[in-house]
Structure 1
Amino acid sequence: MSQLSYARYGKDNIRLFKVEKDEKAGTQTVVESTVCILLEGDIETSYTEADNSVIVATDTQKQTCYILAKQNPITPPELFASVIGDHFIKTYPHIHAAHVKIIQHKWTRMAIDGKPHPHSFLRDGEDIRVVESVTRENVGVSIRSKIEKLLVLKSTGSAFYGFHRDEYTQLQETWDRILSTEVEAGWAWKTFSGLDEVKSVAPKFDEAFNAAKEITLKTFALDNSASVQATMYKMSDQILAAVPLVEAVDYSLPNKHYFEIDLSWHKGLKNTGKDATVYAPQSNPNGLIQCTVTRKGPKSKL
C-alpha cells in the first residue's frame, strides 16, 4: 500500500512586465518579473483518483497573475507575492496555502546629458531581487527576501591566515589577496498576520532591500577581511540592526579565486607576493561559505 505524502503544483516561469505611466510628470517606470506559483490543499484525489475537479489549472494561475498585476502594484515584490497568495487561499476553499516566488529583474533608468530619461532604461548588472513567500490559511504570511548574483571583487584588503594546519594542508597563509564572490543574501521577516499587515509595512521592503545591498557593498569594500566568514557575519549583524522586522539573515558566498602566476622561470620576472600584478582567474573548485544569523534570544536553562 502507498500514500501521497507531498503534493504541490502550479505555474512556473510566468514572465511579467508592467509599465507605470505618470501622465502628469511625463515619465514612465518599468518592472520586469518572473513569477512561480505553487498551491497546496485538498488536492490529493487529483493524484490518487484522477479527479481533476480539485485542480485550479496552471493556466488559470498564469492568467490570474496577469489580472492581479493589472489591478495592483507589482512592487515591492513582497507585497505583490502576498496579493497573489491571499487571492488563492480566499478564492478557492480547498486551497490552504500558496507559495509564491518572484524574481525581479534589473532595469535602471538611463541618464542622458546628466538628466534621468523619462522612459529609457538599461540593465547595468545581472544581480536580481528575489522574494519567496508562503500565504497559509489561518497562519499568516511568511516572507524571505534576497539579493542574488551580485558579483563583487576587491584587489586588496583581504587576508587568510592562522587557519588549522595538519598533514593534509598545503595552502599557504596570506596577508594580502584578491577577494571576489557572487553574493546571495537573504533575510526572513517576522510572520505577518495577513495581507493587510503586509500592506501596512509595504515601504519597509524597499528600505530593507536598499539597506541590505548598501551594507553588503560597504562592508565588503571597507572591512579589512580576516576571512569570508568574519566579513559575512558583520554584514548579517548590521542588517539585523537596520531592519527590526527581520528575524534572520543568511549569506551564501562562493570564494572566487585569483591565483598568482610564478613567472620567475622567464628571466627572473617577479610576479608573486608584493610583486604580483598578473593573476589566473579560477572557475572551480571554489570555497563556499554560508551562515545564518538570528537575533539573540534568552539563554536556555540547563
Structure 2
Amino acid sequence: MPTFELGPNQYGKAETRLVRVERGADGDRLTDLNVSVALRGDLAASHLTGDNAAVLPTDTQKNTVYAFAREFGVASIEAFAARLAEHFVASQPSIHEARVAIQQYPWQSVDGRHSFRREGGEVRTATVHHGPHGTQVASGIGGLVLLKTTDSEFHGYLKDRYTTLPETRDRILATSVDATWRCVEGFTDPRPAREALVEAFADTYSYALQQTLFAMGSRVLERCPDVVEVKLSLPNRHHFLVDLAPFGLDNPNEVYYAADRPYGLIEGVVRRDGAAVPEEVAWTF
C-alpha cells in the first residue's frame, strides 16, 4: 500500500487591505497598503489529522495587521513588515518562519490638507522573511510603465519554419517593470534605485530587452552600494506597425497597434560578483 509524506507547507492571510490616515494640523498623510502574511512551522498535525492546536487563525493575522497599524504606525513598509514578521515568530512557539509582503499604493495630496488623488499604476513593494537565520528584506517597485519611441532594435535571432516576425532596426520598446532588490542588511531608500532603473532604460540603446534588463540591474548596483542583487521581470509590451497600404497611405513609424497579449516576458537577476544568496530568500508564496 502506498505511503505519503507532507512536504513544505505554509499558510497565512493574503491581501489584507489597510488604509491609515495620520491626522495633522498641517494636513493629513494617507498610507494605502495591501499586506500578505505567510507562516511556516510545526503545522503538520493540521494537515494530517486536522489538529489545529498549533494554528494561529488567519483572521487573527488580519487583526494583528490593523492593530499594529494603530499602535505603531507605518513609518515605512519595510519596517512595518519586519515588525509583523518578528511578532508572529516571537509570540507563537509553533511558528518558526514568517514572510510578510506589502504593496503600497501612492496617493498625492491635491489641496495640501484632506484631498488626494491616486497616482498611476506603480506600487512600492517590500517582502520581509524572518526566521532562524535572521531577517531578510527585499524592497522593490511594481507596475512601473516605461516606453521609448526609438533607440531600440531586434534582429539576428534564430529563425525556423514557424518564424514570421520581421527584423527591425527601429521599434518602440515598452515594458512594465517589476523589480526587487536585496540589501546587505536593513532597508534602503527606494528612490535612488527607482531613478537608476528609469535612467538606464532611457539611455541604453537597446538591441534586446534582455540587454536593457542587465543595464537596468547594473545601474542600480552602481548607484546603491548597499544593494547586493536586483531581480527584474520585464514584460515586452509589443507595439506593431499598422499596415496602412490598403488605404493608400504610408506608415513611417508613426501609427502602431498596442498588443496586450500574448507578450514576451524577460526575467533575470543581476548581482554583485560573489554575492551570497540566503536560502530563505528563495521562499515564495
Fold match by TM threshold 0.5: yes
Task: Specify the SS of the correspondent of 2:15.
Answer: strand
Q: Is the 8 A contact 2:200 2:219 kept in 1?
A: no
| Inter-partner Cα distance in structure 2 for 1:244 and 1:276 | 40
Q: Which amino acid aligns with 2:181?
A: W
Give 1:166 deviation, angstroms: 5.3
The aligned counterpart of 1:260 is 241
For 1:177-230, what per-residue CA distance to the aligned partner results, in whole angstroms no more than 9, with x for missing partners? Answer: 11111111111233x5xxxxx4xxx5x2xx2x2122212222222322222111
Q: Distance in 2 between matches of 1:162 and 1:47?
A: 53
In structure 1, distance between residues paired with 2:230 and 2:29: 30
- In 1, Cα distance between equivalents of 2:221 and 2:199: 16
Residue 195 of structure 1: aligned partner: none
Q: Does 1:135 align with 2:130?
A: yes
- Superposed CA deviations along residues 233-256 of structure 1, whole A, max 9, x for unmatched, are 111011112222222111111111
Q: Which amino acid aligns with 1:59?
A: D
1:293 and 2:270 aligned: yes
Paired residues of 2:197 and 2:219 also in contact (CA < 8 A): no
Contact 2:196–2:223 (CA<8 Å) still a contact in 1?
Answer: no
Equivalent of 1:278 in 255, 263, 266: 255
Secondary structure, aligned partner of 1:53: coil
Q: CA deviation at 1:35?
A: 0.8
Question: Corresponding residue for 1:126?
Answer: 121
Change (3 A) 1:172 1:22: same
Note if 1:107 corresponds to 2:107: yes
TM-score, with normalisation over the residues of structure 2?
0.89
CA deviations 1:121-180 (Å, max 9, x no partner) are 2112011112222100x3101122221112222222212233344555433322211111
Query: What TM-score results when the alignment is normalised by the length of structure 1?
Result: 0.84
Amino acid paired to 2:5? Q
Q: Is the 8 A contact 1:187 1:246 kept in 2?
A: yes
Is 2:146 aligned against 1:152?
yes
How far apart, in 2, do the equivalents of 1:107 and 1:252 lie? 24
Does residue 1:176 correspond to 2:170, yes or no?
Answer: yes
Matched AA of 1:293: V
Task: State the 1:258 CA deviation.
Answer: 1.3
Tell me which amino acid in the other structure corresponds to 2:255: V
Report the residue type matching 1:104 in the other structure.
Q
State the Cα RMSD in Å: 1.9
CA contact 2:146–2:177 (8 Å) conserved in 1: yes
**Residues in 1 aligned to 2:135 and 2:44: alpha-carbon distance in whole angstroms:** 24
Percent identity (aligned): 36
Q: Does the CA contact (< 8 Å) of 2:37 and 2:61 recur in 1?
A: yes
Separation in 1, partners of 2:40, 2:9: 7
* Residue correspondences, number: 273
AA aligned to 1:240 is L
Where structure 1 has 5 or more consecutive residues not aligned to the other structure, the ranges are 193-197
Point out where structure 2 has 5 or more consecutive residues left out of the alignment: 276-285
Report which of the two structures shows the higher radius of gyration computed on alpha carbons: 1
Q: Partners in 1 of 2:266 and 2:99 — Cα distance? A: 28
SS in 2 for 1:265: helix
Q: Structure 1 counterpart of 2:8, which letter?
A: Y
